[in-house]
Structures are given as structure tokens and as C-alpha cells.
Copies of this chain bind each other. A is one copy, B any other.
Amino acid sequence: MPTQTFFNLSEEKRERLISGAMKEFAHYCLNDASIANIIKNANISRGSFYQYFDGKSDLYFYLIGIFRRNTTQLMLQSFQEKDGVFIEGYQLFGDKYIQSIMESEKVGFFKHMYLNMNHQISQQVGGDIVSSIKAAMPKDGKRVIDVIKRDTLRIQTDEELRELTKFIINMLNQTIMEGFSKERSIKDTQIEFRKKMDWLTFGVMKKELNEGE
């Protein structure tokens, strides 16, 4: 987390630092990026930098936080739009999420983020989703867990629904990562995710053989 000093800064200076960092991280991954470049971009002295942040990673994770799409919000919207139908809700959510990442002006930043995504970054990106599934949104008090029609699912407990959501988010991130890696179009990435959602929803096993279970 940035220090209080950072937040006391004038907006102009804070912006300068953030965009200087974004520029660097759009060109280099966390490891290859250098503080030297960032402070040069932002016209800030080395000493000052360390008064704001613990180090490179601290800044990086802060940026992820800033530019993290409001996923919970997006999920709520999508499910309300699709009357809580599991597959339709998630597929709409996936479409919107993929688009918001791949069409963003910060796409360079996101690309490096996804291509270098490890467990820690993954937690950072998807962290608020899983933890806030049960939390009510300030807007209308709805929880994600409430807007998903559960009676059509083989999943019943809150805990299982939480795990399933985490699974789907992982699936989504994996798909976006692959999209960046293979330089797929937004459309193709969306199709890829929809296919996986279809597999997960209806199962890859044929229905007629799916009755004995």
C-alpha cells in the first residue's frame, strides 16, 4: 500500500507518477520494469519514490487495484439483465469483462499483467470478487449470490457457489491470458470463454448417458 504521504500529494503529481508507471508497465513486465525509468517518466526523485511506495511491487499492485474493473458490479448487472440464469449471466459477464480489458486504453498494461500472471497477481486481480460474493453491494443491497438462480443448479450451499464462481473467474482469466498470448481478437476470446462456460454448464458428457448418475 502507498504511504499517507502519497495520498497527501497534489493530484497533478500523483497523476504524473501513476501515468509514468503505467507507461513503464505497458512496456515491461513487473520484473523488467525499472524504478529508474518510472521516476524519469514522472520527473520525481528516487528518494521521493521510496517515500510513497515500499518498492516496485507495492506500486504495481496499487495500480492493479486502481485499474481493476469493478467486477462485482459487472457481475450483478449481467445477472440482473439475464434474470439470474446461470449460463446466460456468466456469458454476458464474460463478454463484457473481456471487452473491458482488451479494449481498454490500458491494454498494454493488462497484456503484460496477464502474460505474467502468477498466483499473487491472480489473487490481486480476482481477490475482491470471491471475497465480495457474499457481501452486499452498497447500491441496492443485492449480493451476487442472491441474483443467481440457484434452483436450476446442482449447487446449493453458499460455499459451493463461492467455489464455483472462483473457478469461473480463473477460467475467464486463463482465457484472457491465452487470448493475449495467441493474439486473438476480442470476439474470438469471447467465443472461447462461451464455449468453456457451455462445457461447464451442461457437461461434456452426452445427456442420454448422463442419467444414471
Contact = CB atoms under 8 A, between A and B. Distances in A.
A20 B115 CA distance: 29
Contacts of A167: 196, 199
Interface in A163-213: 163-164, 167, 170, 174, 177-178, 181, 195-196, 199-207, 209-211, 213
Q: How many copies does the complex hold?
A: 2
Interface of A: 31, 86-87, 114-120, 152-155, 163-164, 167, 170, 174, 177-178, 181, 195-196, 199-207, 209-211, 213
A211 B206 CA distance: 11
Top 10 nearest A-B pairs (CB, nearest first) are: A203-B203, A202-B203, A116-B118, A152-B209, A201-B205, A118-B118, A115-B119, A31-B31, A201-B203, A170-B174
